A and B are shown apart, each in its own frame.
Chain A
Amino acid sequence: MSVKEKFQKFLEERLPVQAFKDLSSHKMVPEHKQAFWYYFGGITLFFFIILVFTGMVLLFQYQPGLESSHASVLRIVTKVDFGWLIRSIHSWGANLMLAAAFIHMFSVYFMKAYQKPRELTWLTGLGLLGLGMGLGFTGYSLVWDDMAFFATKIGIDMMEGIPGGEYIADIIRGGPEMGGLTIQRMFALHVVILPWIFIGLLGAHLFFLQIHGNKIPEGIEKSGEYRKVPFFPNFIFSDLYVWLICLNLLAVLAAMYPWHIGAEADPLAPSPKGIKPEWYFMAMFQLLKLMPAHVAGMSGELFGNMLFGAAAMFWAAVPVWNPAGTVGRRAKLATYVGLLGLMFIIGFTIWGYTAHPV
């Protein structure tokens, strides 16, 4: 008996290996003309794994602190061997993960994969997207350059506009003004608190997916124009193939367009010209800018936030107002709302960028 066989025997005697093998050999995944969109969940997961890995490695060189945050990032990108590369992979990976997550969300929405029995998968997915944006926000601030400083400041100030938000803002800031404790708390959120919640939710999300399987869009299911392919090896190998493409894409972006670092944050300096948030906050940022000082007796900020909050709640509640089995006009309504949401996000993002040239 070879070493490999011995090891397999060792495992089989202690773990239900055969049960797992049966499970994976019987698992089938639908394949049809829209199956392309299934890849995006996996892509998001791939970038998340990359982020966890590069993030852990960056902890070996990054030093949080008012004096050291910016200095250590500067040291990473200029002095540390391949520091620019690891940091670029982390930054680019974060942006690509969020992009993939958005595409994943919209494709799931338009396939109506949120309907019974998949409501929990939908909600955990939205939670993951929110956490992902939170990770983006906290991670961005850790560089502590001028852009990051003001973007963080604006972000936290915005929270103050919500009732009870001052309390949260004070906790995050560690006082009335941004300072060393802000970095410390952002750091704690970014590397421990949010990732742990993220991993927990991710586990639930994947568990639900495993129970319910991939949703076949109704039209395709009715017409029968689909086939089932084995999860192993067909689907998993295709997924690996796509992951390799993503790895190449990420490597090219990180190597050819290393991530920028600005001058060290100076609370007394005027905000840098053309200041704008990361692209995934752009639509929200642009919407809030449109708000007049006062709307209906409350501050424009508050109104904008409430508007956005209400829209998000409405979006999350789509399984309630468009449950499985709805047909005709009402079923189409959800699609129109989705298109409207998509157009709003794309439109306002483009508008935001044209209004804030670099």
Chain B
Amino acid sequence: MNYPQWIIEGVGGPGIIGIIAVSHVFISQFAVGGGLFLPITEYLARRNNDPEMLEYLHTHTRFFTILTSVVGAMFGVGIWFAIGLVHPDATAFLIRNFVLAWTIEWVWFFLEILSLIVYYYGWKTLSPRTHMMVGWVYMFTAIMTLVTINGILCFMLTPGDWIQNQSFWSAMFNPTYWPSLLMRFLVCLALAGLYGLITAARMSTANGLRTRMLQYSARWFIPTFVFMLFAMGWYMLMLPEETRNMLFSGMSGFARGNFAILTRISMLTILFTATMGFMIFFGAYANPEEFGGGKIAFLMISALFVTGAGEWTREVLRKPYVIHSVMYSNALLAADAKDMETAERPFLPRIEWRKDGESDGQAMFRTQCRSCHTLDGYRPLREFLKGRDEKSILSLLKIMRPGEKNPYRNIMPPTVGTDTELAMLARYLTSEVSSAK
């Protein structure tokens, strides 16, 4: 409410964040996995005195460096731009509370990139011993970036003791911190193996290097396959009970637009983890000769899908908050909403920034609905409110006021404002709905 806001039709603001963030995660978790893959593979190659494997690793490092340091980092900066513009209040909140963590994160990231560059460009010039050392430094710093950022990501879903004690360390090591770290770490290993397959498939078949490297990379998926189910179970156990129950709400019934989709997506996540395990086994490990472009493409699509599905599940579990129990997804503070359960308070004066020529109703709409809804695209209000007149829209808005009686309280942030203000919002929504094509 305090800052200018970027309004996006179609996919919507959260959609933009989602697309950029999933791309970033898909590459940056590979960067962390590669942190293990590169030095460990180099260590094995040097121990076994295997120049061919080193040659493979050199090729892989080139691909790795370009992808992670250029593309991955670009998407990372992209996230900052997107969240800052789409949801400035939540971004400001996270910056204020995690200044220390962001600083630490930045230091690790800087060291990570630095060591990677030295690792790649020093491939031929550094002594094996020094090069190996640089590799281990890269591994350590890469893992530390995950260790740091994981705390902030988990905090948004499970703030835990922070709500009472406001302690930075409680916020960092919140209830889902460890299971989430394990899950992400497993994903990193899997991605390291998957991208390893890409380079391996392009190796020469002449001396069996291709087969050897395909089977070697495929083995990187084993820990993920073995431990992922347990990690998911652990994660679920650490969630608050009502959040956990949401995961089972979709067992029966196929209605759209509710939590049922959560059940479906989490089931798909498990299915994909299993099928990818088999795809890697039947494709790369047991049948390396026939493993090629098309198969890799489907494997990567599956991996991208499951990454997106996992992140999406975590985000939706947080509904209706952006920071669980603290800030609603439309930047309304939970404490303020609580205060408004008993007393009616004007909302318009809280909107610090106004768009040029924005009416009061439109401003209410932008600050209270726009964070999640679009007019015609994702979660389209014109479609949802079709056929309702101003009176019925207003009564719907009033039903959604803070309090136990609000039937939407577990799905959407409450509506706030005086009767007059809600009437303005209702009038604005009515005009938008009636102007539909």
User: Could you tell me which A residues sit within 8 Å of B by CB distance?
Assistant: 31, 36, 77-85, 88, 229, 233-235, 237-238, 240-241, 244-245, 247-248, 251-252, 255-256, 258
Contacts and interface: CB of A to CB of B under 8 A. Distances in A.
A223 B415 CA distance: 73
Contacts of A234: 287, 289-290
A336 to B, nearest CB: 30
Contacts of A83: 252
A219 B298 CA distance: 30
B102 interface: no
Given A244-B282, A245-B298, A252-B268, A82 B252 contact: yes
28 contacts: A77-B253, A78-B252, A78-B254, A79-B252, A79-B253, A81-B252, A82-B251, A84-B253, A84-B254, A85-B264, A229-B290, A234-B289, A237-B283, A237-B286, A237-B290, A240-B278, A240-B282, A244-B278, A244-B282, A245-B302, A248-B275, A251-B271, A252-B268, A252-B305, A255-B267, A255-B268, A256-B264, A258-B254
B272 interface: yes
A291 B69 CA distance: 64
B153 interface: no
A258 B287 CA distance: 35
Nearest to A82: B251
Given A251-B271, A255-B268, A256-B264, A241 B283 contact: yes
Contacts of A255: 264-265, 267-268
A33 B292 CA distance: 13
A244 B277 CA distance: 10
Contact of A233 (B271, B287, B295): B287
B279 interface: yes
Contacts of A240: 278, 282
A256 B257 CA distance: 11
Residue in A81, A85, A235 with the greatest tally of chain B CB atoms within 10 Å: A85
Contacts of A237: 282-283, 286-287, 290
A251 B272 CA distance: 9
Given A79-B252, A238-B287, A248 B302 contact: yes
Contact of A244 (B265, B275, B287, B305): B275
Given A234-B289, A256-B264, 10 more contacts: A36-B294, A79-B252, A82-B252, A84-B252, A238-B290, A238-B295, A244-B279, A252-B268, A255-B264, A256-B261
B286 A80 contact: no
A80 B287 contact: no
A237 B291 CA distance: 10
Contact of A80 (B252, B268, B289, B290): B252
Interface string B238-264: 000000000000011110000001001
Contacts of B278: 240, 244
B251 to A, nearest CB: 5
Given A233-B287, A244-B282, A78 B295 contact: no
Nearest to A35: B290
A85 B298 CA distance: 24
Contacts of A78: 252-254
Nearest to B289: A234
B305 A81 contact: no
Residue in B253, B265, B305 with the greatest tally of chain A CB atoms within 10 Å: B253
Contacts of A247: 271, 275
A252 B294 CA distance: 20
